[in-house]
A = this chain, B = another copy of it.
Amino acid sequence: MAEAQTTRELTKERHRRALIEATADAIAEHGLAAVSISRILEKAGLSRGMVNLHFSSKTNLLLAVAQQFSEDYTHHWSAAMDGAGERPEAKLRAIIDADFDPVVLNRRTMAVWFAFRGEAHSSPEYMPFIDSRDARMQQTITSICRELRDAGGDTGTDPQIAALSIIALLEGLWTDYYLHPDRFDRDTARAVVLHTARAFFPGSFNA
């Protein structure tokens, strides 16, 4: 009996996930303006009533997609940093590497990410999910910069300014990838960020 229930619940959960993935595919292909339930279900291979059954409305489904992408991104850089040990330089390198990892920086993910961003101004409910480099990430990087400054004995660098620069650079390079994925070079991107980091903390980040 418990097993039977589990089978049903598993199927339900599988359908939920399939809808989220199909929606992301549909956004990547057609754009947020042209995503329709028909197009989503075409990709998911499920029946017409499915979206409203699982998410009550198309709006809720789109929010679920945004949330999913946001959580995936946050989890990715957090995990990368946690695996990098205690040294601030290693932690920052890990975050930078994570940001250019094809797992997050790829055409589909960027298409979805920028699509939600484009609508965030008129649909503010997306906001919490598309501010990728949010308060938590800023605090984390600012802390790392403070550690780097204290370790290097350099008193001239403002950790907040350094963090703002690094984060803006990451943002700008994502935009560069989104607009020109063909000419984008991940190694150059990493090098650019490390170069800026080195400019702020001269003793660290030597090649």
Interface size class of A (residues with CB under 8 A): 35 or more
* Interface presence of A77 (CB below 8 A): no
Q: How far is the CB of A142 from chain B (nearest CB, A)?
A: 14
Residue in chain B with minimal CB distance to A122 = B31
Copies of this chain in the oligomer: 4
- In the complex, what residues of B have CB within 8 A of residue A103's CB? none
A residues neighboring B (CB under 8 Å) = 27-34, 107, 110-111, 114-123, 127, 130-131, 161, 164-165, 167-173, 175-176, 178-180, 188, 191-192, 195-196, 199-200
Contact A172 B161, beta carbon cutoff 8 Å: no
Q: How far, in angstroms, from A110 to B169 measured CA to CA in the complex?
A: 18
Q: How far, in angstroms, from A188 to B165 measured CA to CA in the complex?
A: 10
Partner of A31, one of B34, B119, B130, B167: B119
Q: How far, in angstroms, from A56 to B55 measured CA to CA in the complex?
A: 28
Which of A28, A127, A161, A173 gathers the greatest number of chain B CB atoms within 10 Å? A173
